[in-house]
Structure 1
Amino acid sequence: MAESLKFTVRRKPAELVSPASPTPRELKRLSDIDDQDGLRFHIPVIQFHRRSALMGARDPAPVIRGAIARALVHYYPFAGRLRELEGRKLAVDCTGEGVLFIEADADVRLDHFGDALQPPFPCLDELIFDVPGSSEVLGSPLLLFQVTRLACGGFILGVRLHHTMADAQGLVQFLGAVAELARGAAAPSVRPVWGRELLEARDPPRPAFAHREYDVVPDTKGTIIPLDDMVHRSFFFGRREVAAVRAHLPPHLRSRASTFDLLTGLLWRCRTVALAPDADEEMRMICIVNARGGKSGGGAAIPEGYYGNAFAFPVAVATAGDLAARPLGHAVELVKRAKGEVGAEYMRSVADLMVLRGRPHFTVVRAYLASDVTKAGFGDLDFGWGKPVYGGPAKGGVGAIPGVASFLIPFKNAKGEDGIVVPMCLPGPAMETFVRELGKLLSPPAEQPQEDASSFPVIRSAL
């Protein structure tokens, strides 16, 4: 099994890769969306690439290292270091010092990882090595790259980003520039836009929404996920699974709920039942909603090429008893309603709240967060060796808090079915309950004739 796979990684000493030509020396302030407490951490992503006959024996490490240096000329803030100004305001000191780069080799073949590549990955800490002293918020490199060559001729690219600098779409934009330059382009096809002033607070700040995602919630009953006895599993939702779950919605919601609405409501409800909190405890479902395009127009319009954080954390709130007792449609409707709030005014309101309240962290007490990266584009990055076998988040958690977040990741299973894989981290006994609850909603609704049951799938773990 891939999850029990062990191998040895031999790393060369980490080096700094600086921009290939001189870049401006200046201080650039982050936006008031960028520098909130909940984004002050490093987030890992990973790409698995097969050997390419077209590239022959060409070494991916120097190719990617050189492309990074050229891309940093255009994205020079990434080569700087964060400083904290008055009021906990973060700014990038554009020093040109560079990003960390590690060259490595592993005594393992890509096929040893199995047909179904998805988080959690074995030996991840060896594939994205935490260089001592490199993961601080202030004064540390903002990006870390590790190219690990495999025994089969393929390679793994691990990337670690300081989240205050960019969101998933922004990181993919930068990595896309690296990929284009690695394939021989003279310059990136998308011109990077800094523009962080677009998402700064108004003067005076005047939040216009409740923003319950930033509620101060005391953990009086010890309901933050424990760090011991944690079990990691990934669950696959293909066309059949999604159709089976959608059948549990009322007709008016069946056609209006997106796949994200559906799966997020499903996971929230099943996870709540699995954790078995007191019925009167409020549970929060935090959704990552990208503000690019759509209703984000007006004064906060996000231009093409913007690579900063341009998303909000709208939250659905319900008591544990309500979630467990009411049909799935209730949870899905709450998720849909929360997402619908996000627009230009909502983003300005978040920025205002950050300044007024000292840039708080979103609450993690009795909270669960879902982020959809199915359209982020990690799986399209081609550094010359073709698209990755897997490209996306390296693990399911957020920051140093396991269990409070899941990514919805595009995935093709071993049978060739396209779908979404969702990594989940829960205490052992809770995971067993979660699987049972999920299975109930992947079975036909009670009002359907039992002879139709064959058209509904049983639960399928990606592992």
Structure 2
Amino acid sequence: MSPSVRKSEPVLVRPLRPVSMSSDIKLSPFDRGLAKMSVPALLMFEHPIQDVANTIKRALSQALVDYYPIAGRMVAGTDDGELYIRCSGDGVTFVSASANRALKDFISLDLSRAGRALLDELVICQDGGFGPTDPLLLVQVTEFSCNGFTLGVTWNHALADGAGMAQFLQAVGELACGFSAPSIVPVRCDDSLLQNFPISSAPLQITIPSSLINRIKVEFSKRFTGEPCTKFEVASAVLWQCRTRAIICNPEMPALFSYAVNIRKHAGAKQGYYGNCLTGQLVMATSGIVAGADIVDLVKMIKQSKEKIADQFKKIEDSNQQAVGPQMEQLAQLQYSILIVSSWGNLGFDEVDFGSGGPGRVTPYGEYRPPFPLCAMCLPLKAKDGVNMLGAVVKEEHAGAFLGEIERFTK
């Protein structure tokens, strides 16, 4: 039996009851530049809940009472031309679907042409980004023959970052489980948020084995007198070096590495803030240095860049500089010389629970193709040992060389 997914017609889910709408919400410096970017996420739940589509649909409607900006639309201000979220209550798109196969046939994330086509059916793709009349959130619930289910969400990046969307989905899960209200009071417009911050100036699935990660962590600790390093730092260094070795054509050309940082605690965001509050931290080196360095030295470079974040905020506060959050257009100008990595393992998506436990798999899988190499560290598959990474990190002509470098590294 060939796998197939049957979808209902899209409907708009509005807040369960009318809410007192505030004035339009002006996008913060962290939101600007993201309004045309869609972010897809796929959460896979192996254990069933009763009447999954209707349960989540009702809980979604309830959650939109507290998170009412999500049910709004993006508009341009008449006086200043800036973008705002209009809290119109127009609703979010919801699709229920069913698949004629078991979830285990999907959860391994087969990235062959046929596999990608199948996975594409589990998320509502927003081709070309978001327009002014589009809902800010698209949701699809797909139930499988084994009664497991997936939750596919695609949202306008100006609405929320990954941590913010995870917070919202946790609230939907709580309401589906019978909570009377979300446990975290949501905040979308935060006047206390630090407004000034400096800009740091072919899909593949890769697994960095735990044995390699642990070996590098031991070497790092020996080299730097017991200093620890993280899985993220190690896996990022391996990815950075393997990619650089695969694409290098001139050792003097830059090989830049950037990673997304949740900066809520540094920016003074209130608890429950779910708008964008992230930036990109940049590590700079030449291709020759990255390709030939001891891997432990690359880990140290990444680790040192993380340690500078708090100091950067202190300098901003002391000098009252005017600066903004990361702009996708500026990152795109760096094009193929930069690799951007984010981690989805610490955003809170793994804590989304509709009553049968958290997801067995979380991934930003989707058809969105950014204009720069981008990779995400996902929650690892239970059947795999190590850090699982998914992204479009090299051009087609470099894919073989890149995977070869990864293989040599992990032997």
Distance 1:282 1:9 in 2: 44
Distance 2:194 2:132 in 1: 21
Instruction: For residue 153 of structure 2, give the secondary structure of its aligned residue in structure 1.
Output: strand
Correspondence for 1:195 among 189, 192, 201: 189
Correspondence for 1:421 among 377, 388, 396: 388
Correspondence for 2:28 among 31, 34, 46: 31
Distance 1:401 1:67 in 2: 32
Q: Which residue of 1 aligns with 2:99?
A: 106
Distance 1:170 1:347 in 2: 24
Judge conservation of contact 1:81–1:139 (CA < 8 Å) in 2: yes
1:353-368 alignment runs, 5 A limit: 353-354=323-324, 360-363=329-332, 364-365=334-335, 366-368=337-339
Correspondence for 1:388 among 343, 359, 362: 359
Please state if 1:306 is matched with 2:273.
yes
Correspondence for 1:436 among 396, 404, 409: 404
State the Cα deviation string for residues 380-402 of structure 1 (Å, max 9, x = none): 2111233222123224x8x5327
* Displacement after TM superposition at 1:87 (Å): 6.0
Q: Which residue of 2 aligns with 1:285?
A: 257
* Displacement after TM superposition at 1:314 (Å): 1.1
TM-score normalised by L of structure 2? 0.87
Q: Which structure 1 residue ranges, 5 or more long, are not aligned?
A: 214-229, 443-457, 459-463
Please state if 1:9 is matched with 2:5.
yes
Distance 2:85 2:103 in 1: 38
Q: Which residue of 2 aligns with 1:273?
A: 245
Q: 1:421 to 1:346 in 2, by over 3 A?
A: farther
Instruction: For residue 438 of structure 1, give the secondary structure of its aligned residue in structure 2.
Output: helix
The two structures, once aligned, show a CA RMSD in angstroms of: 3.0
Correspondence for 2:341 among 356, 361, 370: 370
Code of the residue aligned with 2:281 in structure 1: it is P
Distance 2:104 2:242 in 1: 33
* Displacement after TM superposition at 1:9 (Å): 1.7
Q: 1:424 to 1:75 in 2, by over 3 A?
A: closer
Q: 1:412 to 1:151 in 2, by over 3 A?
A: closer
Q: 1:248 to 1:436 in 2, by over 3 A?
A: farther
* Displacement after TM superposition at 1:118 (Å): 7.6
Distance 1:362 1:332 in 2: 22
Correspondence for 1:66 among 53, 58, 64: 58
* Displacement after TM superposition at 1:179 (Å): 0.4
1:49-448 alignment runs, 5 A limit: 49-52=45-48, 55=49, 58-85=50-77, 89-113=82-106, 116-117=108-109, 122=116, 123-130=118-125, 135-199=129-193, 201=195, 209=198, 211-213=199-201, 230=202, 232-247=203-218, 249=220, 251-252=223-224, 255-293=227-265, 296=266, 300-343=267-310, 344-345=313-314, 352-354=322-324, 360-363=329-332, 364-365=334-335, 366-395=337-366, 399-401=368-370, 404-414=373-383, 417=385, 419-425=386-392, 426-442=394-410
State the Cα deviation string for residues 88-126 of structure 1 (Å, max 9, x = none): 632100000000001112222112236x45878632322
Distance 1:276 1:330 in 2: 19
Instruction: For residue 18 of structure 2, give the secondary structure of its aligned residue in structure 1.
Output: coil
Q: 1:340 to 1:240 in 2, by over 3 A?
A: same
The percentage of aligned residue pairs carrying the same residue is: 28
State the Cα deviation string for residues 160-216 of structure 1 (Å, max 9, x = none): 1111111111111100110010111110011101233334646xxxx7x5x442xxx
Distance 2:103 2:316 in 1: 42
Q: 1:301 to 1:132 in 2, by over 3 A?
A: closer
Distance 1:406 1:384 in 2: 31
Code of the residue aligned with 1:277 in structure 2: it is C
Judge conservation of contact 1:41–1:137 (CA < 8 Å) in 2: no
Q: Which structure 2 residue ranges, 5 or more long, are not aligned?
A: none
Distance 2:195 2:88 in 1: 26
Instruction: For residue 175 of structure 1, give the secondary structure of its aligned residue in structure 2.
Output: helix
Q: Which residue of 2 aligns with 1:43?
A: 39
Judge conservation of contact 1:87–1:358 (CA < 8 Å) in 2: no
Structure 1 window deviating more from structure 2 (151-160 vs 400-409): it is 400-409
Structure 1 window deviating more from structure 2 (337-346 vs 63-72): it is 337-346
Judge conservation of contact 1:287–1:339 (CA < 8 Å) in 2: no
Distance 2:12 2:269 in 1: 32
Q: 1:352 to 1:178 in 2, by over 3 A?
A: same
Q: 1:350 to 1:289 in 2, by over 3 A?
A: farther
State the Cα deviation string for residues 400-421 of structure 1 (Å, max 9, x = none): 3276111112214426x4x320
State the Cα deviation string for residues 110-157 of structure 1 (Å, max 9, x = none): 12236x458786323221133789x42433111000111212222221
Code of the residue aligned with 2:10 in structure 1: it is A
TM-score normalised by L of structure 1? 0.78
Distance 1:276 1:375 in 2: 32
